């Protein structure tokens, strides 16, 4: 990836458990966005967190951002089999015209 | 609500052929982005347009070109196709063009799956 790393690369959990994915980046950013992608399909926007925000919630999703460590985490609580997908973080860098730089993605498998 | 439309959804071409991918952004969105996602890879930025002018360029081969038309739809033209061009090509649109600290939320289309044989 051009921007950074996501970890873990793959995560397998049971339904009902929480899933945490981490993302690190290298540069100064305007915001960081998380996307979900089912196998070979489109990218679904989950949540955007601005550089001056530290935490954001949306339903079962909780995103944190630590700009001092240049890292973010996505927590999915009470996971469901339907959450099985790849999850990507993407950064909108300062003064870069809005293009997104994606992380390598975490492949989440939620077993029923 | 209207979403980003891409056509075709699937495209199969031979090596050295040309391909044209189309993108129709969400109405009133002023910026279009193109991304390429190879098998098992993360999406890579190719090129973007703001108000019909190219605004940024990423790792786009010289064999590729793109433009945005007066109705804001965009086309990605790919010539002399190679096997390595096989990928998912996404178009995304946004309303706020790269404003510092802004909510540049990008809405992605379903993608065009290009297979080069």
The predicted-structure confidence for A41-78, as pLDDT tens digits, reads as follows 889 999 999 999 999 999 999 999 999 999 999 999 99
- pLDDT tens string B27-58: 988 899 999 999 989 999 999 998 889 989 99
- Is it the case that residue A100 has pLDDT exceeding 70? yes
* Residue B21 CA from chain centroid, whole number: 8
Average pLDDT over residues B62-87: 96
Quote the minimal CA–CA distance from A4 to chain B in Å: 11
- Is it the case that residue B16 has pLDDT exceeding 80? yes
User: Is A2 in Cβ contact with B105 (below 8 Å)?
Assistant: no
pLDDT at B104: 74
The answer to whether A85 and A38 are in contact (CB under 8 A) is: yes
pLDDT at A7: 83
- Which residues 6+ apart lie within 8 Å of B90 measured at CB? A42, A43, B6, B34, B35, B36, B37, B43, B108, B109, B111
Least Cα distance to B73 among B6, B2, B19 occurs for: B6
Within 8 A of A97 by CB-CB distance, chain B residues are 48, 50, 55-56, 97-98
CA dihedral B59, B6, B77, B47 (to 10 degrees): -30
Task: Kindly state the percentage of chain A with pLDDT values over 90.
Answer: 77
Whole-angstrom distance, CA of residue B34 vs CA of residue B16: 22
The answer to whether A34 and A20 are in contact (CB under 8 A) is: no
pLDDT at B76: 98
In this structure, what token pair is assigned to residue A20?
């945490």
The answer to whether B97 and B30 are in contact (CB under 8 A) is: yes
Average pLDDT over residues B69-88: 96
A73-95 burial, b for 16+ CB within 10 Å, e for fewer?
bbebeebeeebbbbbbbbbbbee
Q: What is the pairing mode between strands B64-68 and B74-78?
A: antiparallel
Least confident interval from A91-95, B19-23, B95-99: B95-99
Per-residue pLDDT band at A4 (split at 50, 70, 90): low
Within 8 A of B45 by CB-CB distance, chain A residues are 99-101
pLDDT at A71: 96
Q: Which position has the higher pLDDT, A9 or B102? A: A9
User: Is A99 in Cβ contact with B33 (below 8 Å)?
Assistant: yes
What is the average pLDDT value for chain A, to the nearest integer? 91
Q: Interior CA angle at B34 toward B74 and B50, to 5°?
A: 60
Whole-angstrom distance, CA of residue B14 vs CA of residue A72: 42
pLDDT at B30: 85
Whole-angstrom distance, CA of residue B1 vs CA of residue A36: 19
**Given CB atoms, is B112 within the 8 Å cutoff of chain A?**
no
Nearest to A48 among B31, B58, B105 (CB): B105
Q: Which position has the higher pLDDT, A3 or B77? A: B77
């Amino acid at each position: 990836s051009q921007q950074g790393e996501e970890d873990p690369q793959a995560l397998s959990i049971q339904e009902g458990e929480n899933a945490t994915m981490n993302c690190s980046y290298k540069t100064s950013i305007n915001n960081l966005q998380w996307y979900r992608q089912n196998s070979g399909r489109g990218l679904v926007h989950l949540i955007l967190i601005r550089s001056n925000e530290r935490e954001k919630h949306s339903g079962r999703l909780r995103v944190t951002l630590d700009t001092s460590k240049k890292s973010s985490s996505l927590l999915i609580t009470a996971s469901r089999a339907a959450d099985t997908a790849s999850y990507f973080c993407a950064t909108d860098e300062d003064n870069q015209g809005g293009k997104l730089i994606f992380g390598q993605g975490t492949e989440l498998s939620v077993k029923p | 609500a209207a979403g980003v439309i891409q056509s075709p959804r699937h495209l199969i071409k031979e090596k050295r052929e040309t391909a044209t991918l189309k993108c129709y952004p969400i109405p009133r969105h002023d910026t279009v982005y193109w991304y390429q996602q190879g098998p098992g890879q993360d999406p890579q930025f190719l090129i973007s347009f703001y108000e019909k002018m190219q605004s940024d360029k990423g790792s786009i081969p010289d064999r590729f070109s793109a433009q945005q038309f007066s109705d804001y739809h965009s086309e990605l033209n790919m010539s002399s196709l190679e096997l390595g061009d096989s990928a998912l090509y996404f178009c995304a649109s946004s309303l706020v063009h790269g404003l510092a600290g802004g909510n540049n939320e990008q809405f992605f289309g379903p993608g065009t799956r290009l297979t080069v044989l």
